């Protein structure tokens, strides 16, 4: 019996590049803007091509001459290139730098403080992806000066490879001293370095579950959380559980500290916003202090049509002796700190006077409308 196999339609990218180009990569919305994930096939000395089944003609992208942002394409005058959308025949006028392949497996050794429990390598060799089990280093020995970890990695640009170390499974544990990236920079197949300190130290014995309950704008159907504990990879965004009262709950297990934002769609454009309509600053939560926290999203920077827009409170609100007075309240008032935690809440009609608060900025929500105020 004869079976016919129908090929999957793919979008073909073909690009003409400057003479002397030794490789070509594409980075864009089709691969999460990874500079190293998608190399093109060489057709001749100045032409490269690739078929991408998941790409669409509206997706934005750029080309690189190597697997790192330092090889990004440039205009003829050296200025930056505007993101492209699909064209049958692209032309690159110039490169920021021309990549020369240096393909080899190398060993990296690191002497780190004894406080380090686990160590990960991150770098240009894998497009600066977040810490992962694939690049978790091996503890070789412990000395009076610290612990020695090692790992073997393959790089197509070994001599120029940049890297750093992370003392936990998220970017919040990255090295602090030195702050700058290491550069492999040698023809030797082993490189040994010293890291004096990290921003934080992950300890598996001190992890726990952080539960976040979020109050969100009326009409929000779905809420997602994204952060360092998910590698800031939107494809891994966690969807919250909607509760009967319209709030959403997220449960994040086995963490010490997380940095995150909330979204009403698994898309960077749909991030939460402040009272000014701009992106809300990254939130953080630490176990066990924040094992169970309540936060409030006052608005979305971009929202689906069903979500109501932000409304600013018109009430007279003033601070005196570190207490807030809110006049003309119709039914309810809530006070949140700048991270979104509920500080006070009351059902009241008339004038509301808060308990004494610490000095700083707060968000007041009155009868569904919000306003940012300062307590002095």
Q: Return the structure tokens found at 45.
A: 């000395």
Q: For residues 295 and 292, give the distance between their C-alpha atoms in angstroms, rounded to a whole number.
A: 10
- Could you read off the pLDDT of 88-146 as tens digits, one per residue? 999 999 999 999 999 999 999 999 999 999 999 999 998 888 899 999 999 999 999 99
CATH topology for the 104-198 domain: Immunoglobulin-like (2.60.40)
Q: What is the pLDDT of residue 2?
A: 42
Nearest CA among 366, 359, 358 for reference residue 313: 366
Q: What is the pLDDT of residue 337?
A: 78
Nearest CA among 333, 323, 322 for reference residue 371: 333
Q: What is the pLDDT of residue 9?
A: 62
Q: What is the pLDDT of residue 310?
A: 58
DSSP strand pairing (90-91 vs 11-16):
parallel
Could you give the residue range(s) of every CATH 2.60.40.10 domain in the chain?
104-198, 207-300
Q: What is the pLDDT of residue 359?
A: 87
- Which CATH code, of 3.30.460.20, 3.40.50.20, 1.10.10.60, 2.60.40.10, is assigned to 207-300? 2.60.40.10
Q: What is the pLDDT of residue 339?
A: 61
Q: CA torsion, points 340, 345, 349, 350, in degrees to nearest 10?
A: -70
Q: What is the pLDDT of residue 287?
A: 94
CA atoms within 13 A on the CB side of 181: 13
Q: For residues 168 and 183, give the distance between their C-alpha atoms in angstroms, rounded to a whole number.
A: 21
In CATH, what number does 317-375 get?
A: 2.60.40
Give me the sign of the Cα torsion angle 313, 314, 319, 325: negative
How far from chain centre, in Å, is Cα 198?
Answer: 19
Q: Do residues 308 and 218 make contact, with C-beta atoms less than 8 angstroms apart? A: yes
Q: For residues 93 and 90, give the distance between their C-alpha atoms in angstroms, rounded to a whole number.
A: 10
Residue 208, φ and ψ in degrees, nearest 5:
-165, -170
Neighbours of 218 (CB within 10 A): 9
DSSP, collapsed to helix, strand or coil, labels residue 62 as strand
Q: Which residues on neighbouring strands pair with residue 163, listed in sequence order?
A: 123, 182
Q: What is the pLDDT of residue 374?
A: 85
Give me the residues of the chain with pLDDT under 50, please: 1-8, 306-308
CATH topology for the 11-95 domain: Immunoglobulin-like (2.60.40)
Please count the helices (runs of H) and the strands (runs of E) in the chain: 0, 34
DSSP state of 206: G
Q: What is the pLDDT of residue 309?
A: 53
Could you tell me which residues come within 8 angstroms of residue 306 by beta carbon, excluding any fewer than 6 positions away? Answer: 219, 220, 221
Q: Return the structure tokens found at 312.
A: 């600013």
- Could you read off the pLDDT of 250-292 as tens digits, one per residue? 999 999 999 999 999 999 989 999 888 899 999 999 999 999 9
The total number of residues shown for the chain amounts to 376
């Amino acid at each position: 019996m004869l079976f016919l196999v129908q090929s999957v339609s793919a979008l073909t990218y073909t690009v003409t590049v400057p003479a002397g180009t030794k490789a070509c990569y594409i980075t864009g919305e089709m691969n999460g803007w990874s500079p190293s994930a998608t190399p093109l096939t060489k057709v001749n000395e100045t032409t490269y091509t690739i078929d991408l089944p998941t790409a669409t003609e509206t997706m934005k992208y750029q080309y690189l001459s190597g697997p790192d942002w330092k090889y990004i394409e440039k205009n003829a005058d050296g200025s930056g290139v505007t993101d492209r959308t699909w064209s049958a025949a692209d032309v690159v006028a110039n490169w920021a730098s021309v990549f020369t392949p240096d393909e080899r497996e190398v060993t990296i050794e690191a002497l780190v403080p004894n406080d380090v429990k686990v160590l990960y390598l991150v770098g240009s060799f894998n497009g600066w992806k977040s810490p992962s089990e694939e690049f978790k280093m091996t503890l070789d020995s412990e000395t009076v000066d610290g612990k020695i970890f090692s790992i073997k990695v393959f790089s197509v640009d070994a001599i120029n490879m940049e890297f750093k170390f992370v003392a936990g499974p998220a970017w919040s544990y990255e090295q602090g001293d030195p702050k700058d990236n290491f550069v492999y920079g040698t023809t030797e197949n082993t490189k040994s370095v010293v890291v004096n300190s990290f921003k934080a130290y992950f300890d598996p014995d001190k992890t726990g579950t952080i539960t976040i309950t979020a109050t969100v704008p009326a009409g929000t159907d779905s809420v997602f959380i994204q952060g360092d504990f998910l590698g800031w990879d939107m494809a891994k965004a966690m969807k919250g559980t909607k509760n009967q009262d319209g709030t959403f709950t997220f449960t994040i297990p086995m963490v010490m500290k997380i940095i995150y934002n909330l979204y009403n769609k698994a898309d960077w454009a749909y991030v939460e916003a402040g009272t000014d309509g701009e992106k809300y600053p990254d939130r953080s939560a630490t176990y066990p202090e924040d094992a169970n926290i309540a936060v409030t999203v006052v608005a979305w920077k971009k929202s689906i049509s069903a979500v109501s827009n932000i409304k600013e409170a018109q009430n007279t609100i003033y601070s005196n002796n570190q207490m807030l007075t809110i006049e003309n309240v119709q039914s309810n008032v809530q006070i949140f700190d700048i991270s979104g935690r509920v500080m006070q809440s009351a059902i009241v009609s008339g004038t509301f006077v808060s308990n004494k608060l610490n000095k700083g900025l707060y968000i007041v929500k009155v009868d569904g409308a919000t306003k940012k105020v300062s307590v002095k």
